[in-house]
């Protein structure tokens, strides 16, 4: 028998039992559930990552839906347990769902939700922050000051890279990649080279218009170029930010061979998926090229780093915080809760998961729909006409 798990209960007499495997930011998501007659149980265990056994204990004998986290292993075992308890809804509080076996969910008729449409700007902002911090060696300089080593200005002290006039490279010009590109082009007057399977016409028009604005004001115009391959971006850009999907074509996209083609003083940023980068090869490259710098928000074997990475002064490492702005995390919690609630109440699926503003408006009731169900088609769920 599974060991009992400590919980916090809201609306104990609610008709529908919903479990959240973690406490989540904000209170709106809680209120939305209890207002719709849900008994909400929030796990309060002092563990960063719950085991499958922990989650089975949370699910119990009767459970209508679960809000979970991307650190959890949602496969055959958990979906079988949820289905046995009468549950038909699960949502990650994340846009990604690499931790979810969608085929297993389909087998047991469980809808799988995620939370796109709310992370674009905040993730792009972190990528831009890491770019600037790496270029100007801010983390190194901060550690230097705190260690009491500063005894006066020196000409060579923490000399970094000027971004203005350099080339920013983007691999994957979707919503996040394009938002990052616009920030770097307009904020630092960088030229753009990007690779994507699909032409980003809106991004190209943005850079063209900004270049014309600069030229009209007597400044050097910025330019854009759509690369024919990812390797072309790696070879030509001064700052490269990775925003691809993770599949067999992008696994270890950054490896020993591709690192060797990059500029010696290039900056590499990854806020996408950890396995896009071969960390062992990256550590070796950082050792051999002290002016090559990297900013990482995700890791190959998260939450662990490959040996040596944490000791590298030319690496900035942060703990998967790309979505960690208050507005975004509260929005993710709201969307995850509404995914589960929508399936419980028999609502249709929202027609466009990337246009979720109506669900985030705190001054009006959310639409009667699930914001984003990734296996809606497989389950034959109806789509909202709203």
Burial level of 232, CB count in 10 A (0-12/13-18/19+)?
middle
Strands (E), 153-311: 167-171, 191-195, 224-226, 239-242, 267-270, 293-296
Task: Report yes or no: 112 and 375 within 8 Å, Cβ to Cβ.
Answer: yes
Task: Please pick, among 28, 136, 252, 320, the residue that the annotation labels catalytic.
Answer: 320
Rounded to the nearest angstrom, the gap between the alpha carbon of residue 340 and the centroid of all alpha carbons in its chain is 21
Task: Please pick, among 17, 137, 273, 285, the residue that the annotation labels catalytic.
Answer: 273
Task: Report yes or no: 113 and 371 within 8 Å, Cβ to Cβ.
Answer: yes
Task: Report yes or no: 339 and 66 within 8 Å, Cβ to Cβ.
Answer: no
Quick one: CA torsion of 261, 264, 270, 276, rounded to 10 degrees? 30
Residue 72 a catalytic site member: no
User: Contacts from 220-226 at CB under 8 Å and sequence distance 24+?
Assistant: 220/165, 220/189, 222/185, 222/189, 222/190, 222/191, 222/192, 223/191, 223/192, 224/185, 224/191, 224/192, 224/193, 224/194, 225/191, 225/192, 225/193, 225/194, 226/193, 226/194, 226/195, 226/196, 226/199, 226/200
Residue 273 a catalytic site member: yes
What distance in Å separates the CA atoms of residue 76 and residue 165, rounded to the nearest whole number? 52
For residue 260, give Cα distances in angstroms to 131, 180, 266.
20, 25, 11
Give the contacts of 302 (CB within 8 A, at least 6 positions apart).
274, 320
Starting at the edge strand found earlier in the chain, the sheet holding 167-171 runs 224-226, 191-195, 167-171, 239-242, 267-270, 293-296, 315-317
For residue 245, give Cα distances in angstroms to 33, 170, 177, 250, 311.
32, 13, 11, 7, 28
Quick one: CA torsion of 330, 334, 337, 341, rounded to 10 degrees? 170
For 151, the token pair is 């005894």
Residue 357 a catalytic site member: no
Active site residues: 273, 302, 320
């Amino acid at each position: 028998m599974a060991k009992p798990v400590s919980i916090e209960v809201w609306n104990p007499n609610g008709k529908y039992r919903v479990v959240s495997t973690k406490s989540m930011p904000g209170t709106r998501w809680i209120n939305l559930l209890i207002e719709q007659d849900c008994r909400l149980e929030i796990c309060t265990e002092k563990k960063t990552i719950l085991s499958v056994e922990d989650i089975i204990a949370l699910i119990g004998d009767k459970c209508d839906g679960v809000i979970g986290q991307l650190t959890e292993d949602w496969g055959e075992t958990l979906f079988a347990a949820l289905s046995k308890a009468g549950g038909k809804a699960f949502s990650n509080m994340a846009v990604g769902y690499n931790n979810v076996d969608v085929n297993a969910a389909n087998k047991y008729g469980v809808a799988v939700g995620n939370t796109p449409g709310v992370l674009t700007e905040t993730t792009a902002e972190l990528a831009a922050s890491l770019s600037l911090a790496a270029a100007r060696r801010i983390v190194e300089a901060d550690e230097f000051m705190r260690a009491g080593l500063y005894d006066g200005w020196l000409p060579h002290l923490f000399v970094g890279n000027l971004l203005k006039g350099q080339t920013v490279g983007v691999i994957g010009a979707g919503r996040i990649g394009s938002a990052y590109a616009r920030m770097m082009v307009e904020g630092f007057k960088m030229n753009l080279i990007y690779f994507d399977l699909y032409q980003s016409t809106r991004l190209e028009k943005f850079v063209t218009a900004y270049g014309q604005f600069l030229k009209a004001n007597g400044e050097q115009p910025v330019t854009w170029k759509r690369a024919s391959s990812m390797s072309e971006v790696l070879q030509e850009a001064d700052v490269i930010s990775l925003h691809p999907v993770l599949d067999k074509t992008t696994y270890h996209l950054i490896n020993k061979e591709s690192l060797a083609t990059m500029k010696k003083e290039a900056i590499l940023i990854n806020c996408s998926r950890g396995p896009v980068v071969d960390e062992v090869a990256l550590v070796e490259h950082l050792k051999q090229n002290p002016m090559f710098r990297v900013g990482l928000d995700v890791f190959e074997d998260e939450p662990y780093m490959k040996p040596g990475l944490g000791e590298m002064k030319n690496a900035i490492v942060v703990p998967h915080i790309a979505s960690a702005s208050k507005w975004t995390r509260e929005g993710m919690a709201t969307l995850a809760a509404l995914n589960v609630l929508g399936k419980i109440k028999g609502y249709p699926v929202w027609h466009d998961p990337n246009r979720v503003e109506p669900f985030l408006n705190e001054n009006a009731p959310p639409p009667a729909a699930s914001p984003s169900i990734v296996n809606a088609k497989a389950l034959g769920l109806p789509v909202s006409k709203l």
